[in-house]
C-alpha cells in the first residue's frame, strides 16, 4: 500500500521561482507536459520530474519511484517532444507520422492501477497498487495525447497562446471560447502591460 509573470519589483529569488515553477493550466496532462519547456526547461532534474508527476495527478503525493533516474527524465522529455510535434502539426493541419507512431507505441502500455485506501477516520484517498514504473507513467501521458487528438470536440478546443513568443498550446474551455492566453496572469498580464506602455508612449508623443 502506497501512502503517501514576474514584475520588475520582484526580488531575484522570487523571479527565479516564478520562472521555473511548474504549471498545470493547459487543460490536459499531455499539454501540461509540453508546457514544461517554456520559458525555460522546467523538468531540469529527476526531483522536478517527480514533482510534475504528482502535480499532474499521475501519482499521489509521497509515492516512491524506485529506479527513477536520468533515463526517466530523458524518456519524458522525448515524449514531450513527440506530443508537441503532434499538437502543433494538428493545429497546422499537417501530418507528423513519426511522432504519432512513437506516441501510439508508448500508449500501448497500461497506466498505473489506482487503489482506494481507507484511513482511520473513514476517509478514502487514492494510492497505487504498486510503485509505478517508467513505462506505465509514460503510457498514461501518451494515452492522454491519443485521447485528446482523436476526440473531435476536445481537438477543436486546441489553441495557441497569443502571447509574444509563447509556444504553449492549451484547451480553450472558457465561456464563449474567448480565451487568448495560456495564462491571464502570465501572458495576459504581459500583454496588458505592453498595451499600457504603448498608450503612454503615444500620449507623450
Dump pLDDT digits (tens) for 141-184.
999 999 999 999 999 999 999 888 889 999 999 888 888 878 76
Number of domains in the chain: 1
Residue 120 lies inside a defined structural domain of this protein: yes
Q: What are phi and psi of 156, to 5 degrees?
A: -70, -15
Q: In terms of residue numbers, what domain contains 24?
A: 12-204
144 alpha carbon, distance to own chain's centre: 11
What is the distance between the alpha carbons of residues 184 and 203, in angstroms, rounded to a whole number?
26
Sign of the CA dihedral 80, 82, 86, 92?
positive
- CB atoms under 10 Å from CB of 131, counted, come to 15
Residue 46 lies inside a defined structural domain of this protein: yes
Dump pLDDT digits (tens) for 64-109.
998 999 999 999 999 999 999 999 999 999 999 999 999 999 999 9
End-to-end CA distance of the chain: 68
Kindly report the pTM of this predicted structure.
0.82
CATH number at residue 89: 1.10.3300.10
- CB atoms under 10 Å from CB of 177, counted, come to 10
Residue 146 lies inside a defined structural domain of this protein: yes
- Match 492566453 to its residue by C-alpha cell: 181
Query: pLDDT averaged over the chain?
Result: 86
Residue 5 lies inside a defined structural domain of this protein: no
Residue 1 lies inside a defined structural domain of this protein: no
- Residue with more model confidence, 133 or 18: 133
Amino acid at each position: 500500500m502506497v501512502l503517501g509573470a514576474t514584475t520588475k519589483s520582484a526580488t531575484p529569488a522570487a523571479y527565479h521561482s516564478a520562472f521555473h515553477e511548474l504549471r498545470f493550466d493547459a487543460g490536459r496532462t499531455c499539454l501540461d507536459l509540453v508546457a514544461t519547456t517554456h520559458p525555460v526547461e522546467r523538468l531540469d532534474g529527476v526531483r522536478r520530474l517527480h514533482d510534475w508527476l504528482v502535480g499532474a495527478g499521475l501519482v499521489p503525493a509521497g509515492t516512491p519511484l524506485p529506479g527513477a533516474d536520468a533515463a526517466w527524465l530523458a524518456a519524458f522529455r522525448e515524449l514531450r517532444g513527440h506530443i508537441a510535434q503532434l499538437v502543433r502539426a494538428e493545429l497546422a493541419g499537417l501530418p507528423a507520422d513519426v511522432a504519432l507512431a512513437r506516441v501510439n507505441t508508448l500508449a500501448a502500455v497500461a497506466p498505473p492501477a489506482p487503489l482506494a485506501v481507507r484511513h482511520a477516520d473513514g476517509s478514502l484517498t487514492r494510492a497505487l497498487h504498486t510503485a509505478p514504473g517508467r513505462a506505465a507513467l509514460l503510457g498514461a501521458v501518451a494515452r492522454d495525447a491519443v485521447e485528446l487528438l482523436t476526440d473531435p470536440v476536445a481537438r477543436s478546443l486546441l489553441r495557441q497562446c497569443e502571447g509574444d513568443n509563447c509556444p504553449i498550446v492549451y484547451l480553450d474551455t472558457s465561456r464563449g471560447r474567448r480565451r487568448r492566453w495560456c495564462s491571464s496572469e502570465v501572458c495576459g498580464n504581459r500583454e496588458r502591460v505592453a498595451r499600457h506602455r504603448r498608450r503612454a508612449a503615444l500620449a507623450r508623443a
